[in-house]
Chains A and B, each alone.
Chain A
Amino acid sequence: MINGTVVDLSRIQFAATALYHFLFVPLTLGLSFLLAAMETVYVTTGKPIYKQMAMFWSRLFMINFALGVATGLTMEFQFGTNWSFYSSFVGDIFGAPLAIEGLMAFFMESTFVGLMVFGWQRLSKGQHLAVTWLVALGSNLSALWILVANGFMQNPKGAAFDPITMRMHLTSFQQLIFSPDAQSKFVHTSIAGYVTGAVFVAGVSAFYMLRKRHMDLAKRSFRIAVLFGVLATIGVVTLGDALGFVDAKAQPTKLAAMEGLWRSEPAPMPFNVIAIPEQSEQRNIDAVQVPAVLSLLVTHSLTGTVPAIDTLEKRAEQRIENGIPAVEALKALSHDPQDASAMAQFDAHKADLGYGFLVQRYAPHLSEVTPSEIQKAAKDSIPPVAAVFWSFRAMVGMGLLMLAFFVLATLYSLRDRIQKKTWILKVAVWMIPVPFLADEAGWLVAELGRQPWTVYGVLPTWMSASTHSVGYMAFSLIGFVALYSVFIAVEMYLMVRAIRLGPPEHGGGDAERPLSRPTLAPRPVPAAPYGTKLEG
C-alpha cells in the first residue's frame, strides 16, 4: 500500500507545477492568434504600423513561450517519476497523444517560432504571415493533444483493460481523439486562452494610452484585442455551458460538486448561486438559490434532473460491491492467467473494476471488507465539494466580468471614444490578472472535480502514485516551488521591462533585432506620420 502522505505530496507537486505552467499556456494560445490577426492586417494593407505591432507583441510572446516551455517539460517527466503505476496502467493510451504532441505540434511550433522571430528580413511578407499562422496553429495543436490525453482521464474512451497484462490498451484511436470530453475541453481551454491574450493586449495597450505613449500602436492593438476578446469571451461562455452539459453525463460527481448538490430533488431543480458546502455534514450552510435554473442550465429543459450526491453515493456503493469480485478475479488471474472461472468472473464484473480498487484503500483484503468500509469508499467517490463549488463560481464570475468589460470596451473603441474614457482604460490595466486567475480556477474545477480518480471510474488516485519516501517528495516539491517561483519572477521582470521599454521604433527596443538586448537610449520618433511607409 502506497503511503497516503506520498500520494498527497505527489498530487500537490503535480498541481503546483501544472498551476505554474498554466499561467503561461493560455497567453501563448491567445497571443499567437492575435499576432496572426495583426500580421494579416499588415500583409493585406501594407501599413508598417501593423508590422511594428506584430514585432512588439511577438517579443512579449517569446518571453512567455520560453518560460512556458521550461515549466511544461517537467510535468511529462512527473508521470514517470511520481505516477509510475498510473503510467504503467494507462501509458499505452495516455502516451500516444503526448508523443504526438511532442513530435508533431511542439516541434512544429518551436520550428516556426524561430522563423517568426528571426525571419522578418529573410522571408517575404506572405511567407512570414504563413509562419505566424503556423506558430498559432502549432501552439493550439499542442494544447489539443494534451487535452485529448486529459480528456481520456476525465472520460476514458477508446480503451479497454487487459486482465492478462494488467494494463489498459488502446482499442480505438478515433474514439480517443473524438471523445466528447476531449473535444469540449479543447475548445473551451483554447478559447479561454484567446480571452487571456486579448485581456493582456488590451491591458498593456490601455497602459500606453493612459500615458499617451505609442498611441498609434496602442489604439490599434486595443481595437484588435477587444474585438478578439468579445468574440472569444462569448465563445468561452457558451462552450463552458456545453462542457457542463457533457460533464453532466460523463462525470456526474463533478457536476454535483460544482453545484453543491447534496440531495436529489424533483424537476425543476434550483440553482445554488452562493452556498457554503459542508462535506462532513453533507449539506450547504446558508445557500442562496434561484428556482428552476439548474435544470435549465444543465439539462436545457425544465423537466430534466441530475443526480445529487446522496444518489451518487448509493450508486457508488452498488458499483463497489460489483467491483470487488472483479478485483478478486484479477488476483486469481495474476497467479494463473489460464484460470477460466476467474476470467469469467472478471468479465462479469469488469465494468466496476475501478470501484473495486477504490475500496481496497480501506480493505486490502477484499474478502474481509465490511459495509462501513464500502460506505467510506463510496463517500470518497465524491470530490471535495467546497473547493470545486467555489472554483467554479470564481471562474464563471470572472468570465462574466471579462464579458462585461469587453462589451463596453468594444463599444467605446468602435465609436472611437476609448481615449476619452480613461476609466475603462484603467479598468483594462487592472483586468490583466483576471483571465489568469479564471484559467487557474477552471483548471481546479476540472482536476479537483475528477477526484478521487486519476482516470475517472477506472483508476483511483490513491493507487496511481510511485512508492517514493515522504522526504524525497517533500524535497522535490520544495525544489519545484522554489524554481518555478523564480521562473514567474523572471517572466514578470522581463515582461514589465519589455512593456516599459515599449515597441520598436517608438523610442523603445531595436526594430530589426527583436530578441537582442534592447537599446536603452531613446530613439527619435519617426517624423513621418502614421500610414506612410517607414521601411525601405
Chain B
Amino acid sequence: MRSFLYFVLFLLLAIIVTVLAAILGNEGAWYFAWLIGTTMIVLVSAAGGAMLDAHEEHLAQSQSGEQRPQS
C-alpha cells in the first residue's frame, strides 16, 4: 500500500512537472533553462565532491593493501 501511495505521489509530481515544463517551455524558455541548468550545476558539483571521496577511499584502500603484505 505504501509503495502504491508513493507511486501515486511521484506520478502526480511527474504530471505537475510535465505541465509546468510545457507551459514554461512555451512561454518562458529562459526560466525553464534556469530550472534545468541550476539543478544540473548543483548536482554535478555535488557529484564532484562525492567523486573526491571515492577517489580518496580508493587510494586509502590500495595503500593499506600494499602495506599489509609487508607487515
Q: Which residues of A contact B (CB under 8 A)?
A: 33-34, 36-38, 40-41, 44-45, 47, 50, 140, 174, 177-178, 180, 183-184, 186-187, 190-191, 194, 219-220, 223-228, 231-232, 235, 413-414, 416, 531
Contacts and interface: CB of A to CB of B under 8 A. Distances in A.
A34 B46 CA distance: 9
B31 interface: yes
Given A186-B34, A194-B41, A232-B41, A37 B28 contact: no
Contacts of A41: 46, 49-50
A47 B40 contact: no
B33 A187 contact: yes
Contact of B30 (A38, A183, A225, A414): A183
Given A178-B27, A184-B30, A187-B34, A231 B40 contact: yes
B49 A33 contact: no
A419 to B, nearest CB: 12
Main secondary structure on B side of the interface with A:
helix
A228 B42 contact: yes
Interface string B15-59: 000000000000111110110011011111110111111010100
B36 to A, nearest CB: 11
B30 A37 contact: no
Contacts of A226: 48
Contacts of A44: 46, 50
A231 B53 contact: no
Contacts of A174: 27
Contact of A235 (B31, B41, B43, B51): B41
Given A220-B49, A223-B52, A33 B42 contact: yes
A224 B48 CA distance: 6
A181 to B, nearest CB: 10
B49 A37 contact: yes
A140 B41 CA distance: 15
A45 B53 contact: yes
9 contacts: A33-B42, A37-B45, A38-B46, A41-B49, A44-B46, A220-B52, A224-B48, A226-B48, A228-B41
Contact of A190 (B27, B34, B42, B43): B34
Contacts of A184: 30
Contacts of A220: 49, 52-53
B48 A186 contact: no
A231 B42 CA distance: 10
A41 B53 CA distance: 10
Given A183-B28, A416-B55, A38 B37 contact: no
A220 B49 CA distance: 6
Contact of B28 (A47, A178, A235): A178
Given A183-B31, A414-B48, 7 more contacts: A33-B42, A37-B42, A37-B45, A37-B49, A44-B50, A235-B37, A531-B57
B34 A223 contact: no
Contacts of A235: 37, 41
A97 to B, nearest CB: 14
A226 B51 CA distance: 14
Nearest to A185: B30
B30 to A, nearest CB: 4
A223 B51 CA distance: 10
Contact of A50 (B33, B45, B48, B49): B49
Nearest to A416: B55
Contacts of A186: 30-31, 34
Contact of B41 (A178, A231, A413): A231
A149 B38 CA distance: 22
Given A187-B33, A531-B53, A33 B38 contact: yes
A228 B57 CA distance: 23
Contacts of A38: 46, 49
Contacts of B44: 227-228, 231
Contact of B50 (A45, A183, A191, A225): A45
A413 B41 CA distance: 17
B34 A40 contact: no
A223 B48 contact: yes
A205 to B, nearest CB: 12
B17 to A, nearest CB: 15
Q: Which of B33, B43, B46, B57 has the most CB of A within 10 A?
A: B46
A183 B25 CA distance: 12
Contacts of A50: 49
Nearest to A137: B38
A228 B46 CA distance: 9
B10 to A, nearest CB: 15
Given A178-B28, A186-B30, A187-B34, A224 B49 contact: yes
Contacts of A178: 27-28
Given A45-B53, A187-B33, A219-B52, A225 B45 contact: yes
A174 B31 CA distance: 13
A37 B46 contact: yes
Contacts of A34: 45
